[in-house]
Amino acid sequence: MMLLGLYNYWIVVMLMMIGFYIVIAHGNLIKKLVGLTIFQTSVFIFYISMGNVDSGSAPILAEGVARYSNPLPHVLILTAIVVGIATTALGLALVVRIKESYGSIEEHEIQIQDQLTEDKT
Amino acid sequence: MIAIAIVRTKDLLAVVMLTGIYGLLSASFFVVLDAVDVAFTEAAVGAGISGLLMLAAITMTGRAEAPKRHKPLLALLVVFVTGGMLIYGTLDMPYFGSFDAPIHQHVAPRYINDSMQEVGVPNIVTSVLASYRAFDTLGEVAVIFTAGIGVLSLLSLPRRRRSSQLDESSKDQMHEQHMVLRIISKILIPFILLFALYVQFHGDFGPGGGFQAGVIFAAAIILYAMLFGLETARRVFNQSIIQLIAAIGLLLYASVGVVSLFNGGNFLDYNVLAQDPIAGQHLGILLIELGVGCTVTAVMIIIFFNFAGRREAQQHSTKQNSHELNSTDQSCTELKEAE
């Protein structure tokens, strides 16, 4: 019973580890970016769930509401989401350029090609 | 569970679809946790724009993932050890929803109790975002702007390079097929834009603000670009003007700070902007939210146009993909309607 109160953190850790696993175990660069996105979302959920208060209401001041959720994590995460999509787009742009110059987005194929060019020089 | 499905799936297209669902689910999760502003953003970004950008990238890079050659045992081990340690770390954390947790003791009570007197805006999230922590937000807008520049420099093409008639006609034919979608979107787009403006200017009182409005506005324009062809959209929204808007948004934000410096306050201290501090705060918040909205919208459009432009230049066999693009787009529209 005591430990059940921590379930939100466990969900976060699970999601985080799934994202982490995708990043380290998959070779495909787009898949890696998806993994990073999941990791990112888990951090969002972590912050938001920390800001939540029992029987609290959304942090918009109104009559007759005594207790609000903590607005600070909301602010941080709100901006983090938009920054996150911008940086993800930058990552995708890099992937597209890698595809153009290497003809592949699989990590090991890129490494093989790099090896070959190094041997030549 | 969807996350696990993403791990297992090899087909990148399916992965992207699952990411969209995942984004929508986390948005509803945020609503449950009373974070309405965040849910707003996540619904527009996670379920709409991010999926679209990934789709655009996949059409250029191919959708099949190569099978793994090595056993992922080591990776699994690392993941389990890290996860185990993190869970051990959570044992000392405050319980979910408890109101005596350290996070609620520090600055949050001041925001909740005093923001009405100090800033005069009912939505605490907006007042913290735009007034108390305006400097943070300025930095974040700058990051978004920089990412936009980055995408522009990586993917932009020399303009007016291709003008083949054949390409043009095939595109027309392709768009003829989506008559229903085009008509419906024509009806919907004005409402989405109106809604975005409402979110922009009503952000002081209800959930909303520059970031949310920016992504919704951009989503509407992207919808237009997708259904009526990139060329048409390029004609309507001139690229260089949009790039200018992105810069103007950031400049507007920073110049509000400079003006408050000149008026004898600190950087981004809105109290000195008008005779009455509260009116000054209102003016300051309105202006910087406008700046944020401009920059976010413009950067999202720049990013999408560059991805899509690159794709059109690269491949001509994208008919099949555009079907799928349209279907995601529709779900993105439905989502906004639901809100």
Convert the pLDDT of each residue in B161-198 to its tens digit: 444 444 554 555 555 566 777 788 788 888 888 888 88
- pLDDT beyond 70 at B323: no
DSSP states of B266-301: -TT-GGGSSSSHHHHHHHHHHHHHHHHHHHHHHHHH
CB-CB contact of B202 with B285 (8 Å):
no
pLDDT band with cut points at 50, 70 and 90 for residue B317:
very low
Low-confidence residues of chain A: pLDDT under 50? 1
List all residues of chain A from 29 to 48 with a beta carbon under 8 Å from chain B: 30-31, 33-34, 37-38, 41, 44-45, 48
B78-121 confidence digits (pLDDT tens): 888 888 888 787 777 777 766 667 777 777 777 777 777 777 77
Buried b vs exposed e over B74-105: b needs ≥16 C-beta within 10 Å? ebeebbeeebeebbeebeeebbbbebebebbe
- pLDDT beyond 60 at B223: yes
Measured CA to CA, the distance from residue B299 to residue B247 in angstroms comes to 9
Higher pLDDT: A73 or B207? It is A73
pLDDT for B201 equals: 80
Q: How many Cα atoms are found within 13 Å in the side-chain-facing hemisphere of B130? A: 35
B18-74 confidence digits (pLDDT tens): 777 788 888 888 887 777 788 888 888 877 788 788 877 777 777 666 666 566 777
Q: What is the mean pLDDT of chain B?
A: 74
B307/A93 touch (CB, cutoff 8 Å), yes or no? yes
- pLDDT beyond 50 at B270: yes
pLDDT for B131 equals: 77
> Measured between beta carbons, which residues in chain A are less than 8 angstroms from residue B88?
none
Give CATH for domain A2-52+68-120: 1.10.287.3510
Q: What is the mean pLDDT of chain A?
A: 80
pTM of the model: 0.78
pLDDT for A10 equals: 80
Give the nearest partner residue to B15 out of A16, A27, A31, using CB atoms: A31
- pLDDT beyond 50 at B321: no
Tokens 């970016």 found at: A33
* Closest chain A residue to the Cα of B130, Cα to Cα: A75
What are the structure tokens assigned to B287, written together?
């202006």
List all residues of chain A from 46 to 75 with a beta carbon under 8 Å from chain B: 48-54, 56-62, 67-75
| Chain B closest-CA separation from residue A73 CA (Å) | 9
pLDDT for B195 equals: 84
Size of interface A-B (CB pairs under 8 A): 262
> Measured between beta carbons, which residues in chain B are less than 8 angstroms from residue A61?
115-116, 122-124
B54/A105 touch (CB, cutoff 8 Å), yes or no? no
pLDDT for B119 equals: 73
> Measured between beta carbons, which residues in chain A are less than 8 angstroms from residue B30?
44, 48
pLDDT for B325 equals: 52
Whether B112 has its CB under 8 Å from any CB of chain A: the answer is yes
List all residues of chain B from 293 to 312 with a beta carbon under 8 Å from chain A: 296, 299-300, 303, 306-307, 310
